Structure 1
Amino acid sequence: MLKKTLACILTSVMLLACAGETSSAAESVVTILGGSSGGLWAIIAEGVGEAMRRSFPRYRVTTEPGKDGPNQVLVGRGDVEFCLASDVLTLKALKGDAPFDVRNRKSEKLRLVAVVNPTAAVQIYMDARTGLTSLKELGERKYPLRINVNRSGTVNDLVSRRVLEAYGVSYEDIEAWGGVVHKGPAPEAVDLWDAGQMDAIVEASQFPLSRFYDLGMKHDLVMLPIDADKAEEINRDMGTFSMIIPAGTYSFQKEDCPTVSTRLLLVTSADQPDRIVTDMLTAMLENVEYLRSVHANLRGLSAESMAGYAGIPMHPAAERFFRRHAISKN
């Protein structure tokens, strides 16, 4: 009888231990969605993941390919812990605006953890041979422009459309005038430019971009500005912000160029446990020098820049973390 009792006790203890191990293992899994494999977002996501591994070995951190838009949906419904995302599409996901205006895509639980890259300036490169020196002229002349706006549904595409609309021009107008709205990645568009099949490229990114620096060495380019009143309109609608690309950033850019910019964010769900969010931010600050070395876009990363956006609700644990470090949101 005693042997049976002891056996039952041991079995119960083992089951409890296994349950505890399973629970602990589940809590230690962290997945971070980035962007396309080998791209900028994938590199940054892996850098953030490595920071977490270095500071907290107990976590099993994986990074996976992702895409702006689907990333927000997956995090919002709790399928993964973190993702990289643009501020523009994250705001749209929170509000349920297109392309999140379909069933089960609105993501009201999205919460900001940190700003990863505070600058992704909208840069409008134009072939000087078009004679266009402003976006206003595009509509006035009804120019048959061949323009690349990046892949459909990307933040680049959405911002490009909105910038043109601020000047009374739609994609459909351009095509009706005999132009082409090309939706492909920037490297593909540069190849088309070299082949004489592209007049303009819109790219939201850090600057200077080497591919456009090189393009300017081979072709006569101009960079078109976004007027202040139009920028304010765009910012109100999309959550972007105004900034200046300084004169001389590119060899063909002789004057300061006013534009708007997006931000790259690290996002989670409101349901994410506080401890995981706090550990993530702790890891990023403890390894900030490493993160700055991961990519040139992270060279300016700091506690202040990470907290520098109030346009999206912040996770409560992140709020407390930055308060403890005496850093306020801008």
Structure 2
Amino acid sequence: MRLLTLAAAIGLAFGVNTAQAEPVNLTLSGGNPGGLWSLLGAGIDRAVKQADPASVVTYQATGGGFANIGLLAANRTDMGLVHNAEVKIALAGEEPFKAPVENMRAIGYMYNWAPMHFFLAKSIADEYNIDSLDDLATSKAPVRIGVNRSGNITSNVALFMLEQAGLTKEAVEANGGSIIQAGANDQADLLQDGRIDMVTNGVFVLHSSFRAIDENNDVVVLDIPQAVIDATNERFGTQNFTIPGGSYTNQPDDIETPALGALLVTTDQLPESTGYALTKALIDHIEEVKAVHGSMKSLSTELMVDQDVMPFHAGAEKAYREAGLLK
């Protein structure tokens, strides 16, 4: 009997030591097929394959973060890439959501360096002595302001920041200006054609769209009052960011501004073991994600855990604690 018990114990121990986790097989909802989020999907897929060649993350192109939150809320996707600001809106149940979305869980940040930029035509800045966002309100300049299309989170953030600086839609129009909603590339064209005076957007420093604006137009980058930054971070979960001086032609000094970030998010329905395997693969093979684009070189495991907009998935939290990244 003792021999049988000992053999069973040895067999159990052997089974525990040699058991293999199930491969990860997940769908990731991202954005448009050719954008950075699709590249992140490819990098995440490579990371899980490095951990287990049988694993796969299948990228699904969607309308972006708000659409992905809708899919997560309905448990129609395993994971989604979403902006921190979109999460804050969803958790509060604000438009476009009809009720708070409570089933989301974080795997981790993928980046948090998409700062809000406000490019103003230098001729307007010089004429009205404008160098900061709040100067727009006090100067009474008739500025035609471009913001992103409705449904793009940078539109929400830009409009909020303008309002915090004293530039509601009514105030802009009272000064003889207007707010025009258009995509990033369309804004650049409108500025170059003289149909708007200011471009706003939140993407990486020296993004191709920003370089085109800087190279094809005589523009300045406006300072942002700290009170506006603080209010924006509180409202949207954004974080402080410094646009280094000299990034653009007429920008000699550093500019402080809020920055959007993108999170990899799942739901509370994802098994803990799967969330653990996914997160451990990302920790162990983060270079696969960093390699997808030059803009991802600052990604680190420390950054991945640097979020407080929603709870971590239980499996992700376990992996981070084991790696010493969470206490």
TM-score, normalised by the number of residues in structure 2: 0.85
From 208, 211, 224, the equivalent of 2:209 is: 211
- Hey, what does 2:246 align to over in structure 1? 248
Q: Does 1:112 align with 2:110?
A: no
Q: How does 1:153-164 map to 2 (within 5 A)?
A: 153-164=151-162
- What is the Cα deviation at residue 319 of structure 1? 1.1
Q: Name the SS for the 2:291 alignment partner.
A: helix
Distance 2:152 2:170 in 1: 18
Instruction: Quote the sequence identity (%).
Output: 28
Which residue identity does 2:200 align to in structure 1? V
Contact 1:139 1:167 in 2 (8 A): yes
Contact 1:35 1:68 in 2 (8 A): yes
Unaligned runs of 5+ in 1: 1-25
Q: Does 1:146 align with 2:140?
A: no
Distance 1:35 1:172 in 2: 33
Q: Does 1:69 align with 2:66?
A: yes
Deviation digits for residues 143-200 of structure 1, max 9, x if unmatched?
3322221121221011101101111212343245443322222122112222222211
Contact 1:116 1:306 in 2 (8 A): yes
Distance 2:43 2:56 in 1: 15
- Hey, what does 2:193 align to over in structure 1? 195
Distance 1:44 1:148 in 2: 29
- Hey, what does 1:90 align to over in structure 2? 87
Contact 1:81 1:268 in 2 (8 A): yes
- What is the Cα deviation at residue 27 of structure 1? 8.7
- Hey, what does 1:265 align to over in structure 2? 263
Q: Cα RMSD (Å) of the superposition? A: 2.1
Q: Name the SS for the 2:65 alignment partner.
A: coil
From 28, 31, 42, the equivalent of 1:32 is: 28
- What is the Cα deviation at residue 35 of structure 1? 0.8
Alignment: residue pair count:
301
- What is the Cα deviation at residue 28 of structure 1? 5.6
Q: 1:180 to 1:65 in 2, by over 3 A?
A: farther
- Hey, what does 2:47 align to over in structure 1? 51
Distance 2:302 2:116 in 1: 23
Distance 1:95 1:46 in 2: 31
Q: Name the SS for the 2:54 alignment partner.
A: coil
- What is the Cα deviation at residue 48 of structure 1? 1.7
Which residue identity does 1:183 align to in structure 2? Q
Distance 1:28 1:295 in 2: 24
Distance 1:168 1:195 in 2: 27
- What is the Cα deviation at residue 76 of structure 1? 2.4
Q: 1:130 to 1:267 in 2, by over 3 A?
A: same
Which residue identity does 2:191 align to in structure 1? W
TM-score, normalised by the number of residues in structure 1: 0.85
Unaligned runs of 5+ in 2: 1-21
Contact 1:117 1:297 in 2 (8 A): no
Q: Name the SS for the 2:308 alignment partner.
A: coil
Contact 1:82 1:267 in 2 (8 A): yes
Q: Does 1:121 align with 2:148?
A: no
From 127, 133, 136, the equivalent of 1:135 is: 133
Distance 2:300 2:26 in 1: 23
Q: 1:233 to 1:60 in 2, by over 3 A?
A: closer
